[in-house]
Each structure stands twice: as C-alpha cells, then as structure tokens.
Amino acid sequence: MPNTGYNDTPYIPGSPYRVHDGDRPQPRIVTPGAPATGDQPGTPPSDAIVLFDGKNLDGWTKHDGEPAGWKLEDGCMEVAPRSGNIRTRREFGSCQLHLELSEPAEIIGESQGRGNSGIFLMTLYEIQVLDNYNNPTYADGTMGAIYGQCPPLVNACRKPGEWQMYDIIWEAPVFADEKLVTPAYVTVILNGILLHHRRELQGPTKHRETTCYTPHAAEAPLELQDHGDRVRFRNIWYRPLTGYDQV
Ligand code: MG
C-alpha cells in the first residue's frame, strides 16, 4: 500500500484537516485541452463551458437579442465593422476565461484606431484589445489595460496577424442592499505573460471619465467589442470559479 497520508500530524490552522491528511478529499480530475499551436486553436479543458468553438455563433447575440452580425470564417469569428458588439447568451460571474485573438495582418490606422476591440466582462468591464505592436497610445488604453483605469504591467503583444492568448481570472464585484460589498478583481495573462495580478477595478469602463460602481446582477454575459476593426477570435471558454472555499 502506498503511504497516502497521516492521521497523527497537527491540524492545519483554520482547517478541519491535518497536515498531509489522508482523509482529505482528492482534487477533482480535469483533463487539460491541447495548447494552441500556430494556426491551430487550442482545445478546452474537460470541464470548461465553451462559448465559441469555431462552428457557429449560436451562443452570441447583439445587445438587443438579434443574431450576432459578425463573420464566421476558418473556425474564427471576425468583427464585422459597425455591426455592433456581440455578447454571449450565457450569463456568468467569477470565472477563469480563455480566448485567442488575432489582430488584422494589414495595418490600418494608429493609436486607438488600430486593431481595437475589447473583452467586456459582465458587459461592463473592459480588458482592452488593441494592436499595440509598434503602435503607441495612452497607457491605460493599451492591449490588456483595464481601460481608463490601469495599464498592463508590460506590453506583451505579438505581431499583427499572429494568434495571441488571453487567460483571465475574473472575480465579480459583490453587492448587497444596493451597496458595494467587494469590488471586482482581475488577473490577466497575455501570451503567457502577467499583465495584472488581482488588480482591483474602480467600476465599469468609461471613456474620458472616472468611474464608480452601480449595483448589478451577480451574473451577466461576456461581450466583445466592435470598434470598427476586423479583429478575429477563436477558442473561447470559461470555468466558473467555484469550490474555492471547499478544498
Ligand atoms: Mg476597446
């Protein structure tokens, strides 16, 4: 028999389990997906909720519920300029979110006018998507910025036309009795590089103004921005942040 734990060790402070407790529940098994390789998208882990798998846009709508007007091509969705933002039918709160994106290979525009899109968590909180490869703009509007609030730690952009990977840990704000109890926090990794480590948000994204929280539902759709540029997305999934207090 392998030694799978101890029953004579001290209890871990604040925990019902001993150090190396043999009776402590095993972690749930999740089978990892395949990583993205060049032009091949990655695949989701076994317990992910898939928001876009390259086959259709059935899970996405315009803000008024009409069908999403973006282009579906080669297993990707591409912004159809001026067709409007699109959002998931599914609503969710705190999560681990993954998505892959590619900026237009043909360089058009500058500053905020080049490869602009956005990942709007809960439709309100934007993680900026922008082609910042040799394209300066204001720091709190660069790729991976919490738009209008905080620049990323570094510029980790790949060249336009290359696929880039976002991994985001989103902690939704908590409201009670129409008051803020806990603000939102976000951790953002772009192309394997840390941009934000549990950064606190001041409120929903605004343009040219400061912000503060307004109470809203605990779950909301994920929204992607049409800023007029043909940004492409693929392999979008999330995993709810649950069970964190139960291990
Ligand atoms: Mg944007």
Q: 160-206 pLDDT, tens per residue?
A: 999 999 999 999 999 999 999 999 999 999 999 999 999 999 999 99
72 within some domain: yes
Q: Is the pLDDT of residue 228 over 70?
A: yes
Ligand 1 centroid from CA 212, angstroms: 19
Residue type, 135: N
Ligand 1 centroid from CA 225, angstroms: 6
Higher-pLDDT residue of 36 and 169 is 169
How many separate domains does the chain show? Answer: 1
108 within some domain: yes
Rounded to whole angstroms, the Cα distance separating 29 from 22 reads 18
What does the mean pLDDT of the chain come to?
Answer: 96
φ, ψ at 25 (rounded to 5°): -60, 145
102 within some domain: yes
Going by pLDDT thresholds of 50, 70 and 90, the confidence category of residue 246 is: low
Nearest to 57 by CA among 43, 42, 78: 78
Going by pLDDT thresholds of 50, 70 and 90, the confidence category of residue 3 is: confident
Determine how many CB atoms are found less than 10 A away from the CB of residue 20: 14
Q: Is the pLDDT of residue 53 over 80?
A: yes
25 within some domain: no
The fraction of the chain above a pLDDT of 90, given in percent, is 94
Ligand 1 centroid from CA 20, angstroms: 47
Query: Which CATH number goes with the domain that contains 55?
Result: 2.60.120.560
Domain that holds residue 176: 49-246
Ligand 1 centroid from CA 233, angstroms: 14
15 within some domain: no
Ligand 1 centroid from CA 75, angstroms: 23
Kindly give, in sequence order, each residue whose CB lies less than 8 Å from that of residue 54, ignoring residues fewer than 6 positions away: 41, 75, 76, 234, 235
Reported as a single tens digit per residue, the pLDDT across 74-115 is: 999 999 999 999 999 999 999 999 999 999 999 999 999 999
CB 175 within 8 A of CB 216: yes
182 within some domain: yes
Residue 39, pLDDT score = 83
Q: Is the pLDDT of residue 38 over 80?
A: no
145 within some domain: yes
Residue 1, pLDDT score = 66
Ligand 1 centroid from CA 2, angstroms: 54
Reported as a single tens digit per residue, the pLDDT across 19-32 is: 999 999 999 999 99
4 within some domain: no
